[in-house]
Structure 1
Amino acid sequence: MEKFADVLDHAQAHTERETELRIAAIQRYSRVGHGRALCIDCGDQIPLNRRKHVPNAKRCAACQAAEESKRAPIPRRA
């Protein structure tokens, strides 16, 4: 039977490794630049200002608004 301290050590090592992987991913991402350059829907350039403020943006503002309107909740009747 594994001792409690061993379990905690294993959990801490796992957490530290996960943290290292996340930091490495953020560093890789930041070297690439400010997110995706082209919209996945229309193929137009995503403005740099949008990419700076929303680095994970996959769509230009117009396509994102259209996508969100598709997912808008259906209003309930009173």
Structure 2
Amino acid sequence: MVYRPRYLDKKRNKPIKKQPVLMNTRIEQGKVIMYYSNGYQLICKKRHIECYDSEEKLKWWLGADGKGEIF
């Protein structure tokens, strides 16, 4: 059997999935805007919550009644 270093072993060499980190939060014009490390923006308004990606495309929204949509 040939010696194989641990860092080359496929079972142990899995990429670590990093969770996005909250970087900044602002309040403007009645909405709370949260910026995350992966470029996403979470905008909370009185009626609904919206999430935008780094290219400013709407990813999902959730209304006060619990209804929403994922794009």
Q: Normalising to structure 1: TM-score of the pair?
A: 0.26
Specify which structure has the bigger relative contact order, considering alpha-carbon pairs within 8 angstroms and separated by 6 or more residues: 1
Tell me which protein shows more helix as a share of its residues.
1
Q: Normalising to structure 2: TM-score of the pair?
A: 0.27
